[in-house]
Amino acid sequence: MNNIIILGAQWGDEGKGKVVDLLSDRFDIVTRYQGGHNAGHTVFVGPKKFVLKLIPSGILRGKRAVIGNGVVLDPGALLEEMEALGRAGIDVPGHLAISNRAHILFPFHRLVEKVSEARADRVAIGTTSRGIGPCYEDKIARRGIRVADLLDTENFRALYASLAQDKKTLARAFQIADTIDYEKARAEYEQFAERIRPMVCDTSRLLNEAIKTGQRILFEGAQGTMLDIDHGTYPFVTSSSAAAGGACTGAGVPPTKIHGVIGVSKAYCTRVGGGPFPTEDGGAAGERIRKAGNEFGAVTGRPRRCGWFDVPLLRYTSAVNGFDSLVITKLDVLDDFAEIPVCTGYRVQGRVTDEVPATIGQMEALDPVYEKAPWWKGSTRGATSYDSLPDGAKRYLDYLAAKVGVEIGCISTGPERNETILMPDSRFTKLIG
Ligand code: GDP
Ligand code: IMO
Ligand code: MG
* pLDDT tens per residue across span 119-147: 888 889 999 999 999 999 999 999 999 99
Going along the chain from its start, the domains and CATH numbers come out as: 4-100+200-260 (3.40.440.10), 103-196 (1.10.300.10), 265-432 (3.90.170.10)
C-alpha pair distances (Å), 16 with each of 29, 100, 236, 396: 16, 26, 21, 21
Residue 375 near residue 340, CB atoms below 8 Å: yes
Whole-number Å distance, alpha carbon 149 to ligand 2 midpoint, is 27
Instruction: State how far Cα 361 lies from the chain centre.
Output: 25
What pLDDT sits at residue 30?
Answer: 98
Among the listed residues 274, 187, 178, 287, the one whose alpha carbon sits nearest the alpha carbon of residue 234: 274
Tell me, using a 6 A CB cutoff, whether residue 317 lines ligand 2: no
Among the listed residues 11, 9, 7, the one whose alpha carbon sits nearest the alpha carbon of residue 307: 11
Tell me, using a 6 A CB cutoff, whether residue 357 lines ligand 2: no
C-alpha pair distances (Å), 52 with each of 20, 35, 55: 11, 12, 6
Whole-number Å distance, alpha carbon 222 to ligand 3 midpoint, is 8
What pLDDT sits at residue 179?
Answer: 85
Known catalytic residues are 13, 41
Whole-number Å distance, alpha carbon 42 to ligand 2 midpoint, is 14
What pLDDT sits at residue 196?
Answer: 98
Q: 47-95, pLDDT tens digit by residue?
A: 999 999 999 999 999 999 999 999 999 999 999 999 999 999 999 999 9
Q: Is the predicted pLDDT of residue 18 greater than 90, yes or no?
A: yes
Q: In the structure, what pLDDT confidence band is assigned to residue 350 with cuts at 50, 70 and 90?
A: very high
Amino acid letter, 26: R
Tell me, using a 6 A CB cutoff, whether residue 18 lines ligand 1: yes
Tell me, using a 6 A CB cutoff, whether residue 52 lines ligand 2: no
Q: DSSP alpha helices (H): ranges in 228-354? A: 245-251, 284-292, 311-321
Q: Across residues 296-318, what is the average pLDDT?
A: 94
∠404-406-412 over CA atoms, to 5°? 95
What pLDDT sits at residue 1?
Answer: 60
Q: In the structure, what pLDDT confidence band is assigned to residue 422 with cuts at 50, 70 and 90?
A: very high
Mean pLDDT for all residues in the chain: 96
Distance CA 293, CA 266 (A): 10
Q: Across residues 260-274, what is the average pLDDT?
A: 97
Q: Is the predicted pLDDT of residue 267 greater than 90, yes or no?
A: yes
